[in-house]
Amino acid sequence: MKRSRLAFAALLAATTFAITADAKITRTGTPQVAFHASGPAGMRIIGQTNDLDVDDQGGKIVIKVPLRNLHTGIDLRDHHMRDKYLQVGSYPNAELTVDRGAIHMPNGDGTVSGDATGSMAIHGHTKNVNFHYTVARVGGQLRVGGTTQLDIRDYGIDIPSYLGVTVKPDIDVEVQFTASE
């Protein structure tokens, strides 16, 4: 009887591990996505959106950011950004596709951070990017943060310029979201 209980417990543990390994990640809460661009002599532009979806495809994780609601605080600038430069009518999303194995997850509660490479698709162009990530498991929740730097010229986006002020092509991107397994 005792041996059979131990065997059941071992089977349960093994099953639980397998479920965890195959558990799909689902976004929860309100994500935060921001880009930081700069212009000449100290000019800073910060764009933000709370739209982000996580599509766990098993072997790959796709993080999709709809760009329609990206805003910088000035309506006309948003209009130019979305319609003239990002052309969100034709290219509505920015997508980062990452091999699941490239991301290290904490065992139990804890935090893991690291660098990884993924495939970034923006404006109809796809390019591999390096990014830094942090995953913290708190209870049943994963708190995920990531940063990367992009050169908008790699994605066929014209360098924004308005009345003699031209934005630098390098932008910093920062993403934070929570997810459950």
Residues of this chain that interact with other proteins (CB under 8 A) are 38-46, 72-77, 79, 162-165
Query: What's CA 94's distance to the chain center, in Å?
Result: 9
Cβ neighbourhood burial of 48 (10 Å; 0-12, 13-18, 19+): middle
For residues 61 and 152, which CB has a smaller minimum distance to other proteins in the complex? 152
Cβ at position 91, least distance to other proteins in Å: 21
> d(Cα 53, Cα 177) in Å, to the nearest integer?
9
For residues 39 and 145, which CB has a smaller minimum distance to other proteins in the complex? 39
> d(Cα 63, Cα 94) in Å, to the nearest integer?
8
Tokens of 50: 């709370």
Task: Find out whether 83 and 89 touch, Cβ atoms under 8 Å.
Answer: yes
Cβ at position 39, least distance to other proteins in Å: 7
For residues 39 and 106, which CB has a smaller minimum distance to other proteins in the complex? 39
For residues 88 and 142, which CB has a smaller minimum distance to other proteins in the complex? 88
Torsion angle in degrees (nearest 10) through CA of 75, 84, 94, 120: -140
Identity at 88, one-letter amino acid code: V
For residues 19 and 165, which CB has a smaller minimum distance to other proteins in the complex? 165
Cβ at position 98, least distance to other proteins in Å: 30
Cβ at position 65, least distance to other proteins in Å: 21
Cβ at position 41, least distance to other proteins in Å: 5
Q: What are the two backbone dihedrals, phi and then psi, of residue 76, each rounded to the nearest 5 degrees?
A: -65, -40
